[in-house]
Amino acid sequence: MYIHFNHHSQLSIKRILGTPEQDISGIYYDSRRVTPNSVFVCMSGENHDGHLYIKEAVEKGAGVIAGENLERLEEAFHQYPHVTFVLTESARSFLARISIIFYERVHEKIKTVGVTGTNGKTTVAAYVKSLMTNLEMPSGYIGTIGMFSSKGRIEFSQTTPTTPESIDLHSIFNQMYLQGDQLASMEVTSVAIEQKRVEGINFDIAIHTNLTPEHLEFHHTFENYRNAKLKLFRQAKQAVVNMDDEGMSAEILEIFNGPVLTYSLDKNTEADVKASNIKMSATGTVFEMIVGGESYIVRAPIFGNYNVANLLAAVCTALHSGFTVEEILPAITMLESPEGRLEVLQEYGNRNIILDYAHTPPALKNLIKEVKKMPHRRLIVMIAGIGIRDWEKMPQMAQAIEGEADEIVVSVDHPGFHDPEDIIDKVLTGFKKPRAGNIHRAPTRHEGVLAAMDLSSEKDLIVLTSGCINGAQLVKGERIPHSDKDIIRNYFMLEKETRSVEYV
């Protein structure tokens, strides 16, 4: 694509060294991926400075280098005068804005739905994708469990846990558009907002789920965290708000000037979409949905009251998009739930094994409250400290589960550069009786899953929680492949083989 940098004021360019005109083939923030005639953006973070990789990018053929450090850019320009060097106010803003230019504003050719909140983002975004696709508006999903178009998984190596970097995000939008998708439903984290990954996108719909303390290792204060999430609603045309949430709903309704739909599990509120008389069965949930004073019976293949709330958020999205309740009801019966969100495995030894990656204290409490409604002999729960998250949250996970389960396995997710034993010790500080006989240590998630299986027997309910995401564990900067399902499958296969040998 031919770009004259002086013609794009939104790039906030302060100075150009070299020719301002270039025909660029791609945009990168990782020097290892640079291709000839591409743009390399020097992004700086806590652990690296992109300006240190200018030489590598130039040697790989970069035609444009963009960054914030004038001294380093001038030094490099003297060495490589054939390359264009761009000084910008913010490398992250530059990356987001040039990504929009490079992909010819493809995000405006589809409906964009951004979901933010502490808990429920993945489920709501997945419900929106499924519901809208069922309504014959082919939709994709972007978030924690991967990237999907309406036709299936998009092959993409995630460098961030949830919301992709801006250039990757617009590349995914482009792939969805080329595959015929009309809507992109995506999780938008507070960190992504602050790191300007979604800058320049005017979302068609922004959805709020709830707000409790999280990511304080990044934001430092709860106020900063809330303010970051509020920014999404300053770049959206329509909003969906959970009226049951005390963390942020009032602030959104105060600042947002566009069309708003609210939802609630309390039929006595003034919410636009409400649910009551919720009844769970072995195959899903039946409830009464009240919209505009009219009552409807909803049958949904979902479990848990909080997932009813998540479904209401998706219903509001469909209403915002022009669909009627009469059109929405049959589409709900075919709803698909995301992997790892109250996912029940029933094929192993007359046990129910639930995968739900609840990783905050409120989410864990809600999960346990719902699973206890299922018939079981004993309840076995695995929790985990997440090494790459807020350490002060770890003891709260212990407090949320103490006294609620017959056996508790304390394990580790994504230890990062931390010692797993230190992480477990931190979680254990939240228990009143950390040395109780029903509390067990497992320094890796793999060992934690095995421990939970070993502790179980027939008719038990095993719940594996916490933040295992993207099919990997993050250990000392490396992505170590991991699958709870594979571990469980292999465990019972080995157990079956052992029983066969003993029988012979």
Domain positions in the chain = 2-101, 104-332, 343-499
pLDDT at 499 over 60: no
CATH 3.40.1390.10 fits 2-101, yes or no: yes
Instruction: Name the DSSP class of 365.
Output: H
Which DSSP state fits 166? H
What is the average per-residue pLDDT within 468-480?
80
The whole-number average pLDDT for the span 412-417 is 92
Longest dimension (CA), the chain: 80
- What letter does residue 272 receive in the DSSP assignment? S
- As a whole number of angstroms, the distance between CA 129 and CA 138 comes to 8
Query: For residue 219, what pLDDT band results from cuts at 50, 70 and 90?
Result: low
Q: What local confidence, expressed as pLDDT, does residue 346 receive?
A: 80
Task: At 72, list the tokens.
Answer: 């380093």
If one compares 158 and 386, the residue with the highest pLDDT of the two is 386
Handedness of CA 475, 481, 484, 489 (dihedral sign): negative
184 has a pLDDT exceeding 90: yes
User: Which tokens in the block code for residue 480?
Assistant: 């170590």
* pTM of the shown model: 0.84
Helix H or strand E segment including 112: strand 111-116
Assess whether pLDDT exceeds 90 at residue 221: no
Average pLDDT, the chain: 92
Q: What is the mean pLDDT of residues 48-58?
A: 94
> Residue 409's pLDDT is what?
98
Q: What is the pLDDT of residue 215?
A: 62
R_g (Cα) of the chain, nearest Å:
24
Q: Which residue has the higher pLDDT, 280 or 452?
A: 452
pLDDT for position 503: 40
Q: How many residues does the chain have?
A: 504
Angle between helices 445-455 and 484-503 (to 10 degrees): 40
Q: How far is the CA of 23 from the CAs of 37, 299, 497, in angstroms?
A: 7, 54, 61
Superfamily of domain 343-499: Mur ligase, C-terminal domain (3.90.190.20)
Output the six-digit token pair for 252: 């959104």
Phi, psi of 192 (to 5 degrees): -65, -40
Fold (topology level) of 104-332 = UDP-N-acetylmuramoyl-L-alanine:D-glutamate ligase (3.40.1190)
Query: What pLDDT is attached to residue 214?
Result: 66
What is the three-class DSSP state of 237?
A: strand
The pLDDT assigned to 44 comes to 82
Q: Which of 77-81, 171-175, 315-319, 336-340 has the lowest mean pLDDT?
A: 336-340
Residue type, 410: V
| DSSP-assigned letter for residue 283 | S
Neighbouring-strand partners of residue 458: none
- Identify whether the C-beta of residue 22 lies closer than 8 Å to the C-beta of residue 64: yes
Which is it for strands 146-149 and 152-153: parallel, antiparallel or unpaired?
A: antiparallel
Q: At 54, which amino acid appears? A: I
pLDDT the model gives residue 478: 85
pLDDT in tens, 20-50: 999 999 999 999 999 999 999 999 876 679 9
Confidence (pLDDT) at 502: 45
Distance separating alpha carbons of residues 162 and 152, to the nearest angstrom: 18
pLDDT of residue 468: 61
Is the distance from CB of 210 to CB of 137 less than 8 angstroms?
no
Backbone angles phi, psi at 299, to 5 degrees: -115, 115
Residue 273 contacts residue 262 (beta carbons within 8 Å): yes
- Three-state SS across 407-434? EEEEEEECCECCCHHHHHHHHHCCCCCC
pLDDT band for position 504 (cuts 50, 70, 90): very low
Q: Please name the amino acid found at residue 234.
A: R
- How far, in Å, CA of 5 to CA of 91, rounded? 15
The answer to whether 418 touches 394, Cβ cutoff 8 Å, is: no
pLDDT, mean of residues 55-61? 97
Mean pLDDT, residues 95-118 taken together: 96
Residue 279 CA to residue 414 CA, distance in Å, equals 36
